[in-house]
Structure 1
Amino acid sequence: MKINANEIRVGMLLEYKNDLWQVLKTQHVKPGKGGAFAQVEMKSVNKNTKLNERFRSSETVEKASVEETNFNYIYEDENNYFFIDPKSFEQIEVKKDIIGDKGKLLTENLEVSISFYNDNPISVSLPNQVNCKIKSTDVALKGQTVSSSYKPAILENGLSINVPPFIEAEDNVIIDTRNLEYIKKV
């Protein structure tokens, strides 16, 4: 689908120069002399490279048609994560490098949204909050309220986050999957 350059938004997927690009930043510029343009920073979904491009307001770009489907996580092997469609029971595999570190937050039967482009999975969106268990944490120092009173903790899945001083090992906490930050104790 063709869209005008001034309709480009952060997070969109564009087909440009025979590749698929995700928009990271966009800025509409109206110089004193000459026509307005959109300055767009994009990242290639396939090659992991970045590109800064200027599009005149009158130009059109191709917006990629992406299909999103809900799947449940089932298991992983050395290179892939495996998901099942809860309606059709069809299994798919997604390479670990597509998900990255957030793959450690996957738990059995966790419902995720997978984006497909030309029947190939290109991204996996986790729920905004997941429940995790603290494996170990440092001892809180008394009187340490002058600076930020967070302490490092390691989750059972191996990720390390900062938690408030009252959190102890074996506690269950809720984590924000977008920025890997502590939300609350369960």
Structure 2
Amino acid sequence: MKISGVDIRPGNILEYEGGIWKVAKIQHTQPGKGGAYMQVEMKNLQDGRKTNVRFRSADTIERVRLDQKEFQYLYTDGDSLVFMDKDTYEQINLPTDLLGDAAAFLQDGMDVTLELWDEKPISVALPEQVEATIVEADAVVKGQTASSSYKPAVLDNGVRVMVPPHIESGTRIVVDVYERTYVGKAG
């Protein structure tokens, strides 16, 4: 589907110069002289390159629709992750770096959404929030009663997050996967 250069929005997937790009940021600029344009920061979903491109309103670009399919995470095999198609039970291996920092939050049997382009997986989306157990939490500093004070803690997957002072080691909490922040106690 072709769209105008000024209709580009963050999160759009675009076909540009033979590659598939995800729009990260946009800035609409209207200079005093000349026509308005959209400054677009994009990341290549195939090789991870980033670029900045100017699109004028007269420019058209192909917007790509990705197929989404549910998969289940099975296990890690070296530096690749093994997922199973929930419909066909077919297994596929994907490189760990496709997930980036979110890979630390993968749990056995977790359902994930793979985005496919031409039947090739190009991104993996984990659930927004997961439950994890705190294995190490700093002691509360006496007199630290301000409601906004947080202390560092280490989760069972090795990730460090800031938690409220009343949370202790052994507590199960809910964590935002992409922000790496404490959401609440697991319920």
Question: Which range, TM-score by smaller chain?
Answer: over 0.9
**Structure 2 residue identity aligned to 1:110:** M
2:28 match: 28
Does the residue aligned with 2:6 lie in a helix, a strand or coil? helix
1:60 match: 60
Gaps of 5+ in 1: none
What is the TM-score normalised by the length of structure 1?
A: 0.94
Q: CA deviation at 1:64?
A: 2.2
**Structure 2 residue identity aligned to 1:54:** R
What is the TM-score normalised by the length of structure 2?
A: 0.93
C-alpha distance in structure 2 between counterparts of 1:25 and 1:183, whole Å: 26
Number of corresponding residues? 186
**Structure 2 residue identity aligned to 1:145:** T
Q: CA deviation at 1:91?
A: 1.3
1:121-180 alpha-carbon deviations (Å, 9 max, x no partner): 111111111110111111111212358411111111111111111111111000011201
User: How much is the aligned-residue C-alpha RMSD, in angstroms?
Assistant: 1.5
C-alpha distance in structure 2 between counterparts of 1:41 and 1:93, whole Å: 30
**Structure 1 residue identity aligned to 2:37:** F
Q: Percent identity?
A: 42
Does the residue aligned with 1:149 lie in a helix, a strand or coil? coil
**Structure 2 residue identity aligned to 1:103:** A
1:162 match: 162
1:22-78 alpha-carbon deviations (Å, 9 max, x no partner): 111112222232212111111122232221111110110111231111111111111
**Structure 2 residue identity aligned to 1:35:** G
C-alpha distance in structure 2 between counterparts of 1:50 and 1:13, whole Å: 14
Does the residue aligned with 1:9 lie in a helix, a strand or coil? coil
